[in-house]
Amino acid sequence: MSELQGVLVSTFEELYVALVRPVKPPLLTVSEAKALDARQTEALHCKHINPAQYHFFRLLGFHDIVVERAEGVHYVDRSGRRILDFFGGFGTMALGHNHPRLLEVRRIHDEEQRHEMDFLLPSRYAAAFSAGLAAIAPGDLDLVFLGSTGSEAVEAALKLAELVQGPERSTVVYTEKSFHGKTRAALSVSDSKKYQASARLLPNRRRVPFGDIAALEAMIRSDRSIGAVILETIQGGAGIVLPPDGYFRQLRALCDQHQVLWIADEIQSGMGRTGRFFAFEHEDVVPDAVVLAKALGGGKTAISAMITRAQHFQKVYGTPRTALIQGPSTFSGWGGPCCIALEALHVLYDDDLIGNAERMGAYLLARLEALKVRYPRLVKEVRGRGLFIGFELADVSQTLPLPLRVLVSGLDERLRGSLSGFVGALLLQRHGVLVGFTDYNRNVLRLEPPLIVDEGHCDQVVAALDDVLSSGLSGIITDYAARFLRSSR
Ligand SMILES: Cc1ncc(COP(=O)(O)O)c(C=O)c1O
């Protein structure tokens, strides 16, 4: 290349960089993101994610926490404070945070530069993971659709039921206070006016009380268009609500009698949380389809599954023409998530976490019951199965003495009658114990810790609750209000 040509090329390159090449916008680097403090995060979140959501973070005292790392049953914040996680991300953290076996599997997967996308080229890991789920699931629940979120699995189950049953029997029964997700079909069978807002929903759906087999039977007998019923085996958002014993056996018999499909939502109750892999296994029955998500990825990856009977799957997706009607979607069965999820299944059995959930659940329930006896005016009910527990506090919305009523009237209206918000925030602030809440029943503290917890962890939570409750109603509310007002200054 002559000198002149060289000059021309470099001038052209400079011109390209200056005029044509897209300019990199002001992106934070990963290390700059890591260095953000609580207020900077808040500012960016409020500007770019969901401004009103911060309202709840503030009410519960979450807004000040910057998580530095998480291990086992603890979060560790930037100041080194350890927070005992009895919320578990709505049950997602069944194996605890950053289980070493999952980290190792992921490390090897990345190091070997493996990559499989099952929708494009066959994935060994998707095949092996699905086979594992089929081996665990009872009966002939053998065909697995893989997705990334719970809602996606619910959508898959509802669509399968509709196609199996045909247009004449496309009505779906769902239950009062149900929650199945926020995508359109899942939302249509979630009993929340708030979440449904004014979105248009599926037309063919009917609602029954949860756990009431007679009401369900009457509805099914009177309406031949009913082709499916969907329900959480234990309702989470409703306040950790169990149906009466024997309900699922009766449900199975009813569905068999009327050729109705039963879809079991085990997105929270599944993966061992109740002391069985699936909560419906306590009654030795098999649904037509079951959905899993949350803990399925071991807390390290987003993966969900809809598992159904081969006969249903084959009927609607069993030919080359119909094979692609449902799946796969872009992220169905990626090798990396499937490796992690497969290893999580091994850990669950190797470490006897399902047995531990049953034992620790019984231990914790008994200790919480004792608190109820000690504080009969503050605690209404303790209920649950395994490590899926609701601790229901008294509803004080109508009975607060005047001075306290005046005090809480200065707080958010969602907290006014709800002791659980005050108690939950104080558990975190005074004791470093994180618990959850239930959406439809604001008086319930939601305990869904990792299944690796031991008696010491349970004792810590009970002692923290004991301390907060021992302050009495006025002590709880004044302490909460003082902290809240101080932090909002
Ligand atoms: C019982 C149940 N079903 C479905 C869903 C929806 O799952 P996702 O939020 O992953 O879409 C949830 C989420 O909380 C759930 O608890």
The answer to whether the beta carbons of residues 424 and 435 sit under 8 Å apart is yes
pLDDT at residue number 191: 97
Is the distance from the beta carbon of residue 484 to the nearest atom of ligand 1 less than 6 Å? no
Average pLDDT of the chain, as a whole number: 94
Is the distance from the beta carbon of residue 343 to the nearest atom of ligand 1 less than 6 Å? no
Is the distance from the beta carbon of residue 268 to the nearest atom of ligand 1 less than 6 Å? yes
The C-alpha atoms of residue 120 and residue 117 are separated, in whole angstroms, by 6
pLDDT at residue number 405: 76
What is the CATH T-level fold of the domain 65-97+353-488, as seen in this structure?
A: Aspartate Aminotransferase, domain 1 (3.90.1150)
Nearest to 255 by CA among 217, 311, 283, 292: 217
261-265 and 226-232 strand pairing: parallel
The answer to whether the beta carbons of residues 236 and 180 sit under 8 Å apart is no
Residues of the chain with pLDDT under 50: none
Torsion of CA 75, 81, 84, 87, to 10 degrees: -60
Amino acid at 441: N
Token duo for residue 116: 């499989």
CA distances from 121 to 19, 156, 332, 434, 452 (A): 40, 22, 12, 42, 36
pLDDT at residue number 340: 98
Is the distance from the beta carbon of residue 313 to the nearest atom of ligand 1 less than 6 Å? no
SS3 of the chain: the string is CCHHHHHHHHHHHHHHHHHHCCCCCCCCCHHHHHHCCHHHHHHHHHHHCCCCHHHHHHHHCHHHCCEEEEEECEEEECCCCEEEECCHHHHCCCCCECCHHHHHHHHHHHHCCCCCECCCCCCHHHHHHHHHHHHHCCCCEEEEEEECCHHHHHHHHHHHHHHHHCHHHCEEEEECCCCCCCCHHHHHCCCCHHHHCCCCCCCCEEEECCCCHHHHHHHHHHCCCEEEEEEECCECCCCCECCCCCHHHHHHHHHHHHCCEEEEECCCCCCCCCCCCCHHHHHCCCCCEEEECHHHHCCCCCCEEEEEEHHHHHHHHCCCCCCCCCCCCCCCCEHHHHHHHHHHHHHHHHCCHHHHHHHHHHHHHHHHHHHHHHCCCCEEEEEEECCEEEEEECECCCCCCHHHHHHHHCCCHHHCCEHHHHHHHHHHHHHCEECEECCCCCCEEEECCCCCCCHHHHHHHHHHHHHHHCCHHHHHHHHHHHHHHHHHC
Find the 383 Cα to ligand 1 centroid distance in Å: 21
Find the 320 Cα to ligand 1 centroid distance in Å: 31
pLDDT at residue number 251: 98
pLDDT at residue number 415: 60
pLDDT at residue number 7: 81
Mutating to test ligand 1, I would choose from 90, 180, 190 the residue with most ligand atoms within 8 A of its C-beta, which is 180
Is the distance from the beta carbon of residue 179 to the nearest atom of ligand 1 less than 6 Å? yes
Percent of the chain with pLDDT over 90: 81
Is the distance from the beta carbon of residue 236 to the nearest atom of ligand 1 less than 6 Å? yes
pTM: 0.95
Residue nearest ligand 1's atom 4 by CA: 180
pLDDT at residue number 209: 98
What is the CATH T-level fold of the domain 100-350, as seen in this structure?
A: Aspartate Aminotransferase; domain 2 (3.40.640)
pLDDT at residue number 39: 95
Is the distance from the beta carbon of residue 180 to the nearest atom of ligand 1 less than 6 Å? yes
pLDDT at residue number 397: 76
The answer to whether the beta carbons of residues 405 and 202 sit under 8 Å apart is no
The C-alpha atoms of residue 142 and residue 309 are separated, in whole angstroms, by 6
Is the distance from the beta carbon of residue 267 to the nearest atom of ligand 1 less than 6 Å? yes
Domain ranges of the chain: 65-97+353-488, 100-350
Find the 34 Cα to ligand 1 centroid distance in Å: 28
Find the 438 Cα to ligand 1 centroid distance in Å: 13
